[in-house]
A and B are shown apart, each in its own frame.
Chain A
Amino acid sequence: MTQPAANPPTVATGDHPRPESAVSRALAWLRAFIASPRLFLSEGQLFLFLSVLIGLYSGLLVVCFQVAIEWTRLWLLGSALRPSPVRLLTVPALGGIVVAVLVMQIFPKVRGSGVNQTKAAVYVFDGYVPFSTVVGKFITCALAIGSGQSLGPEDPSLQIGAGIASALGRRFKLSLDKARLIAPVGAAAGLAAAFNAPISSVLFVIEEVIGKWSAGVLGAIVLAALSSVVVMRNFLGAEPLFRVTSYRLGHPTELLAYAVLGLAGGFASVIFSRLIAELRPRLMGLPRRTKYLQPAAAGLLVGAIGLVFPQVMGAGYQIIDQAMHSQYAWQLLAALAGAKIIATVLSFSSGTPGGMFAPSLFIGAMLGGAVGGVEHHFFPGLTGSVGAYALVGMGTLFAGFLRVPMTSVFMVLELSGNYSIILPVMISNTIAYVISRKYQKVALFDMLSRQEGMDLPSMEEQREESSLRVESAARPYAGPVLRGEQTVAEARRQTTGSSEPYFLVSLGTRGWSGVSRELLEWQAQQGAHDLRLMDLPDRDRLALPHLHLDQPLDVALRRIGDYPLVPVVSRTDPQQLEGVVTLQAILHAYQIHFTAAGRPVEARG
């Protein structure tokens, strides 16, 4: 005899459906929404949507990255500002060995500048940044910076953002055009989160990675930068990297004091760049086996410097903040600037992964503070605080060393939130930039890419490349201008005696066209003397595009096609002829331009 079960299982039947919970209803809605055709976005819409996702991802990863750096530092070096000598000498060296093994064996692509690798993704690899680079940068840079190497987290953050963007672009199967542009979007997001400064990051990516303002990508970059900063501030707080002291320009003559800072910053930038230019290729040229030891040796030397100046170890943001709040005498500030240059050159040239942004800010702040301190000593009446000089100094070195003049100005404005500091910043940055350009011909990022065997487009050269305009190729039109209402007979009479083989026909508001002498003769032979020029069949009458004198010559080259000549007209009155251009004239203008510039025509465009 069977006994009834104590707890008989319940069976859901079609007659008695189990009531759905709120969670399951929400999941069902989400599934339906995701599968909905409404979600099929156009390529442009998807690009913008992805930029927000990229910003969120980058922000989260950069927060984790910064926490990882800090935890590594606390774990390896302890929480004291001045770690014990044993730790100072052993931790960076041992950390260097581990980093070297990781770089040589597992993540070979994490060496070098993240900015250049992002540029390479845009210009060479169709937007491809391997995801392993993201993982490698995260691990190796956290270890290197946390163990005290004199490098910063911004450049790796930039590359982490670019890598994430590239991975998402691939997953979403973006077109090649968009896939190429997605890496800079991620780069801006990563840099913005690391800097907590979205405007500067957007400008930097445009100024140094993309090289031109493009409406198609600007919106995506801004969206990504903003969303990453929002995420970062949500987790780490809205406080800026540095607390900036108030600034007020007491008297215009005080600008001279900032000009002196510009001089000092310019020469410091040159020294810094040249040391890297000298040491890095030498170390790169050493046998492969030594590359396992180079980061360790650099770490040992940096640790030795840290015995005297522990402030130079790591990114040094806290030290910058303290310097900006007058916690150090000017003598110490000057010494720290010098020590940081040496430590950073050693760390970076040894192939240890990490960025140069934080060190350049550190050096600039120390240098600025020192210059401000000296000037205050001799001119106590100066109203600008040492903190203000340190702030301007950061921008100055940014302009002189990284050679990003526009970003450097906006970075200081964004960090300080004080627009009255713009005059000192512009003066100081411009002087530093000019000095750096004079004594260090190749910009840092170009130099680094060439050292790595790549010839990426130089944004500085592109910015300064003088572009040819239509006016260079235009010449006066020697023939008569015919009107569309004229008959073939009238046109023949008017063109008699002209040496031009081709004649322009003004169609009034409908633009311009042209007829050849042969066509007029042929129409006359056919007896079409009274046929108006505007009534000629389309195959006989060419509708001509037109140009303006101020347009780039590249536009003329694209438009001229097979036309024998193209009219150049006034912008205020398109019926007023200002000249004509021919293909021969365009090519001649290019030839003259490149000959004058001293380089062959086939050089980079």
Chain B
Amino acid sequence: METERVCSQCGQPIPAGALQCPRCSGHASHRSHVLGLTLLSLIVLFVITGFAARAYRLQRDTLGQQWNAEGQADLTASRAEKAVIDFRTALVYSRDSEPVQLNLARALIAANRHEEAKAYLTGLWERDPANAVVNLELARLAAGGGREEEALRYYHNALYDDWGSQDPAQSRRVVRLELYQFLMKQGDRRQAQVELVAMAALLPPDPALYVQAGRLFLGVGDYARAAAEFQNALRLEGGEAALEGLGEAEYLQGNYRRARLHLERALRQKPGDARLTEMLDQATQVLAADPFQPNLTISERDRRIVRAYHQALSRLVACGVPPAVPPGSDQGTAPASNPAPLSSSLVPLADGARSLEPRVKAEALDRDPDLVSQIMNLVFQIEEASVNGCSALEPLDRALVLLARQQSGPEK
């Protein structure tokens, strides 16, 4: 007898003679049909959605760019408030666009909405603390608000962080320049000089940049580095600016011979320049007045010392402290009651000058080499002490003052 077959799917008996379960085969057929239609419509919907989504994304990108461009135009035209709205609108369509985000921050700053700008930039910073541009903007904001520590922190972050697609070397140079200016404004000359040294070390071979660096070194009083930068510029044919700068740097260092050389060349390229002419004249005066120059004849040296001594005496007279007081007179040793501070400081120098007067002669100078430095020290002291408070300096006075400073060291 034939055993009853049972459907493995639904458990129902399969009628005799039937190959498969009629119930399940009916279900399978129906579901196959529905599944085919479902998959087909899914494919169609997939294609439609793909086209729609692509068009949608393209449209958003375009709108983001349009509003960003409009915002930049408004910002350029000083319509900062409108630019803020434009950039916000651009961010609706390109919310992750970093340039637009930064533009919005700049627009907020331009609109004097510093608190909003700071909050916004801080938000950007929290998302990406290593973003150099955001750090720079925050540094500028802090510098503008007088928050020195905060500004320094963000400036330094900007120096060492990621500049993305921007040229990092140039961007860092800009930041160091800003930082230098900020430090100079804060009166921190030493730190400013440090930043300049760091910037100069990474300069590309560009004469204009060397000249710029040289000028900045002049600004912080680092004349040696300034001269080196101008020389670098000259090696790359830096032109008259480099020559002028080098002349000034040498002049300020007290290298008057080299200064005269460069200044003369600079004046040939820039004839009639009053400042250059003045420096050149001064350098020439110094060179003509300096008794310590090598290769001078003894007589010329003595002549310069005597001339300097008499110029110092004239200076004392101009300052109201006549040195040639007859011996025994009280006037020489006891100045008038309530003397001016300047006069009181010059009185002992005048006494010294008076005591030296009999020995200021060529014969004495030849016999006593120490006398040369004794006289010149006194001259330098008188000239230095009388720089301020007396009548205007004569050219020789100025030359002697410069010599005095040269002798006492470059830091003066």
Q: Which residues of A contact B (CB under 8 A)?
A: 34-35, 37, 39-40, 42, 46, 53, 56-57, 60-61, 63-64, 67, 70-71, 74, 79-82, 168, 171-173, 235-237, 239, 243, 245-246, 318, 321-322, 324-329, 385-387
Which of B57, B115, B120 contacts A325 (CB under 8 A)?
B120
Which of B9, B48, B49, B124 contacts A42 (CB under 8 A)?
B9
Chain B contact residues: helix, strand, loop or mixed: helix
Which of A39, A64, A82 contacts B48 (CB under 8 A)?
A64
**CB-CB nearest in chain B for A41:** B31
User: Quick one: CB contact mask for B97-124 with A, threshold 8 Å, 1 for yes?
Assistant: 0000000100000000001100110111
Tell me, rounded to whole Å, the shortest Cβ–Cβ distance linking A294 to chain B.
Answer: 30
Neighbouring B residues of A329 by C-beta, 8 Å: 115-116
Query: Are A81 and B88 in contact, with the CB atoms below 8 A?
Result: yes
User: Quick one: CB contact mask for B46-60 with A, threshold 8 Å, 1 for yes?
Assistant: 101110110011010
Query: Are A56 and B49 in contact, with the CB atoms below 8 A?
Result: no
CA of A294 to CA of B395 in the docked complex: distance in angstroms? 95
Neighbouring B residues of A81 by C-beta, 8 Å: 85, 88-89, 92
CA of A483 to CA of B92 in the docked complex: distance in angstroms? 80
Which of B24, B66, B115, B127 contacts A246 (CB under 8 A)?
B127
CA of A37 to CA of B34 in the docked complex: distance in angstroms? 15
Given contacts A67-B56, A243-B127, A326-B119, 4 further A-B contacts (CB under 8 A): A34-B32, A40-B27, A40-B31, A246-B126
**Is there a chain A Cβ closer than 8 Å to B91's Cβ?**
yes
Q: Which of B35-43, B234-242, B375-383 contacts A (4 or more CB under 8 A)?
A: B35-43
Query: Are A40 and B9 in contact, with the CB atoms below 8 A?
Result: yes
Tell me, rounded to whole Å, the shortest Cβ–Cβ distance linking B65 to chain A.
Answer: 12
Which of A42, A236, A321 contacts B95 (CB under 8 A)?
A321
Query: Are B92 and A318 in contact, with the CB atoms below 8 A?
Result: yes
Tell me, rounded to whole Å, the shortest Cβ–Cβ distance linking B308 to chain A.
Answer: 65
Neighbouring A residues of B104 by C-beta, 8 Å: 327
Query: Are B28 and A79 in contact, with the CB atoms below 8 A?
Result: no
Neighbouring B residues of A53 by C-beta, 8 Å: 38, 42
Neighbouring A residues of B49 by C-beta, 8 Å: 60, 63-64, 235
Which of A37, A60, A318, A325 contacts B45 (CB under 8 A)?
A60
Supposing A34-B36, A53-B42 touch, asked if A387 and B123 sit within 8 A by C-beta, the answer is yes
Within 8 A of A (CB), among B59-98: 59, 63, 66-67, 85, 88-89, 91-93, 95-96
**CB-CB nearest in chain B for A246:** B126
Number of A-B residue pairs, CB cutoff 8 Å, is: 112
Query: Are A79 and B93 in contact, with the CB atoms below 8 A?
Result: yes
CA of A266 to CA of B16 in the docked complex: distance in angstroms? 70
Supposing A63-B49, A387-B123 touch, asked if A79 and B88 sit within 8 A by C-beta, the answer is no
Interface size on B, residues (CB 8 A): 46
Neighbouring B residues of A42 by C-beta, 8 Å: 9
Supposing A42-B9, A67-B53, A74-B59 touch, asked if A327 and B32 sit within 8 A by C-beta, the answer is no
Query: Are A57 and B45 in contact, with the CB atoms below 8 A?
Result: yes
- Most chain A beta-carbon neighbours within 10 Å: one of B24, B53, B91, B96: B53
Tell me, rounded to whole Å, the shortest Cβ–Cβ distance linking A172 to chain B.
Answer: 6
Neighbouring B residues of A64 by C-beta, 8 Å: 45, 48-49, 52
Neighbouring A residues of B38 by C-beta, 8 Å: 53, 168, 171
Query: Are A235 and B53 in contact, with the CB atoms below 8 A?
Result: yes
Query: Are B9 and A235 in contact, with the CB atoms below 8 A?
Result: no
Supposing A71-B56, A79-B67 touch, asked if A35 and B32 sit within 8 A by C-beta, the answer is yes
Tell me, rounded to whole Å, the shortest Cβ–Cβ distance linking B109 to chain A.
Answer: 14
Query: Are A236 and B53 in contact, with the CB atoms below 8 A?
Result: yes
**Is there a chain A Cβ closer than 8 Å to B212's Cβ?**
no
Tell me, rounded to whole Å, the shortest Cβ–Cβ distance linking B410 to chain A.
Answer: 48
Query: Are A172 and B96 in contact, with the CB atoms below 8 A?
Result: no
CA of A61 to CA of B42 in the docked complex: distance in angstroms? 10
**CB-CB nearest in chain B for A167:** B38
Supposing A40-B24, A40-B28, A71-B56 touch, asked if A34 and B123 sit within 8 A by C-beta, the answer is no
Tell me, rounded to whole Å, the shortest Cβ–Cβ distance linking A577 to chain B.
Answer: 40
User: Quick one: CB contact mask for B258-275 with A, threshold 8 Å, 1 for yes?
Assistant: 000000000000000000
Query: Are B56 and A245 in contact, with the CB atoms below 8 A?
Result: no
**Is there a chain A Cβ closer than 8 Å to B30's Cβ?**
yes
Which of A39, A324, A325, A385 contacts B35 (CB under 8 A)?
A39
Query: Are B36 and A326 in contact, with the CB atoms below 8 A?
Result: no
CA of A396 to CA of B291 in the docked complex: distance in angstroms? 88
CA of A327 to CA of B25 in the docked complex: distance in angstroms? 63
**CB-CB nearest in chain B for A388:** B126
CA of A40 to CA of B36 in the docked complex: distance in angstroms? 14
**Is there a chain A Cβ closer than 8 Å to B29's Cβ?**
yes
Neighbouring B residues of A172 by C-beta, 8 Å: 31, 34-35
Query: Are B56 and A57 in contact, with the CB atoms below 8 A?
Result: no
